Structure 1
Amino acid sequence: MIEFWVVLTGVLVGITCSIAGVFLVLRKMSMIADAISHTVLFGIVISFIVTQTLSGVTMFIGAALAGLLTAFLVQYLRSNGIQEDAAIGIIFTTLFAISVLLITLFAGDVHLDVEHVLMGEIAFVPWDKLTLFGIEMPKAVWMLGSALLINIIILTLFFKQFKLSTFDPVYAASIGLPIVFMHYLFMLMISMTTVSAFDSVGAILVIAMLIGPAATAYLISRSLKQMFAYAISFGVMAAIGGYYVAKWFDTSIAGMMAVMIGIIFIVVLSSQIIRRIFIKSRLSAN
């Protein structure tokens, strides 16, 4: 049963992050995921300092607000002439560094450290349980399941708006689509996805799952629906394959899941390159 919960957690991370990651990749905002996955620590530390507790609700709210703050500050710097990658670098490093200092000063005696945030420990998930509606499951499963449900609801309700603002933002703005609202709603979705996953698997795997499956799916997809389907499939494959390879080598589960995403990307990219070379050679022969 322990193995089941660990694998299920990895699969939920793969599905939840892959769904959010599709529009992240299409909007060319992959690096903002890196920033948010680290700056959520700032929100968690602030919420701990204020409430003196690491309960799931306060941690979730603090981290989500920190994600929105990151998105707002990056957008503010961009509007003042700073390039996006430079803005992300400045905000990401500043807030993360402040978080580390605050942990040292005010949270040194609690289970809140940088290594835990970066790498997590998915193997401990089965022992941190939560009972809701008379059902006892690991807290990570509850959080990831809730995030997945919310992501599905948001994308179902605003799919056309996200699609239009992603592929043709100028036209979307011209017909009165609330571009700013859609941007921050999407950033809230990314923040919520990140905080629901990072406690169990760490920021590194969250970044890998947000970007890797969607980027891999982008290589072979011919439609948006295909991209969602491929991204989810790759995320699940990486989670399951990464767990059993990590078990075989007795190494970090989250780390191996991230490595599997990289391997899947390389395999798909290589197959596409070989396919193009083969097609080009046949055309040349004819």
Structure 2
Amino acid sequence: MAYNKGTLTGGDIMTIPTVTLNNGLKMPQLGMGVWKTSNRDAKQAVTMAIKDGYTLIDTAKQYGNEAGVGEGIQEGLKATGKSREDLFITTKVFNGDQGYQPTLDAIEGQLDALQTDYVDLLLMHWPVNGLYNATWWAMEEIYAAGKAKAIGVCNFNVERLSDLLDNGSVVPAVNQIEFNPRIHQDDVRDLCRQHNIQVEAWSPLGGGAALSNPTIQTIADAHQKTVAQVILRWELQQGLVVIPKSVHEERIIANQRVFDFTLTDTEMATIFSLNTEEHAIWYDKFKWSGNPNGVDDYIDNRD
């Protein structure tokens, strides 16, 4: 896919806006994801991203690359002269660590791997049946101790999010869910709005099916942008946080250049019409279990 403006460099990086979470913490609206990235590639990508103006970095223990992310953070800070406080680091509680005491025990190792004393956002990666409420109680303690500046969840549907709200003391700050032109999860987003829970999109670009969509391509051509840039802009205009993944610097830079144009109401509605509610993860096979190997067996390889 060709990018406009020729070969991209980091010289004219745009300022990334923030959203304010329900505890008052400001979170960058666009960040860098590192799913299915090796430690070596994660280190390189994170270093490049920080040098190119990113401050939000999203990883997880399940990804197996927290150590690489930690090294990349240190390299990026050294290269830019920034401090840890300039970044917004997210990681997630691993399914195999869920439960009250295991969650408390695991956080120290994750912080060590990331080479930090705290994360800005700690998310529960999946609502593991029979464990997610106890996991949340442990996360509330981690939050109270200052080892996470905010806590939230991932992949919570209406049923499980409602149950968590009934049993927890802290309202999640974020629910990170699969969202892109092909899947909108309106019922989940409605519940999040009711409780001032920020929705964050994983797989925001929707993989090949969305990136090759001719309807979005027509909109992209009208703005002299790429399809990826149009999709990200569509999500940002809805107030979502987005974390596109790439290990290629040109795309890392291009994904950030989405704040210099605006989609019309008609263009927004056109992309909304592409919804098929088609998950990359087959939830019926996952069965909300505590699979210690995560859910990669059930994931299509989408960015």
What TM-score do the two structures reach when normalised by structure 1? Answer: 0.29
The structure with the largest helix share of the pair is: 1
The structure whose Rg is larger is 1
What is the TM-score normalised by the length of structure 2? Answer: 0.27
Higher relative contact order (CA 8 A, sep 6+): 1
